[in-house]
């Protein structure tokens, strides 16, 4: 029975990760002064992680965090875009992108945890 449960969990994480990756692909098209789509994807994923950590049973939290949020968020795209700003002498944009990603994503985890634990109800 345990093998079946793990198989269902692995498949569920893979499907949720695929959904998150498709959402990230859609959002990544939004560019401007900053890579807004990737920033939004990372912030949403961070909120989802905070929420799932505090309000979901372990199995569903694993699927949501590892699958959906893992597929939606992307450190490598953020890092690549930031390095490109620096390479092209757009230092302010690189620094703003870094600060925005770190501050907004961290705040989103915190807010997700507050919502998930019922403190903002």
- Could you tell me the two tokens for 48? 């989802």
pLDDT in tens, 95-119: 999 999 999 999 999 999 999 998 7
Cα torsion angle, 52, 56, 62, 68, sign:
negative
Distance between CA atoms of residues 14 and 19, nearest Å: 9
What's the mean pLDDT in 16-29? 96
For 106, residues 6+ apart whose C-beta sits below 8 A from its C-beta are 46
Q: What confidence tens digit (pLDDT) does each residue in 45-88 have?
A: 999 999 999 988 999 999 999 999 999 999 999 999 999 999 99
Helix or strand or coil: residue 89?
Answer: coil
Residue in this structure with the two tokens 């945890």, named with its chain if needed: 113
């Amino acid at each position: 029975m345990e093998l079946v449960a793990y198989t269902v969990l692995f498949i569920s994480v893979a499907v949720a990760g695929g959904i998150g990756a498709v959402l990230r692909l859609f959002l990544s098209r939004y560019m401007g002064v900053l890579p807004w789509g990737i920033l939004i994807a990372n912030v949403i994923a961070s909120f989802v992680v905070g929420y799932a950590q505090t309000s979901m049973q372990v199995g569903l939290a694993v699927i949501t965090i590892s699958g959906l949020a893992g597929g939606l968020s992307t450190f490598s795209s953020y890092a690549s875009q930031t390095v490109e700003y620096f390479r092209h002498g757009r230092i302010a944009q690189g620094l703003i992108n870094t600060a925005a990603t770190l501050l907004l994503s961290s705040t989103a985890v915190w807010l997700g945890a507050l919502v998930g634990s019922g403190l903002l109800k």
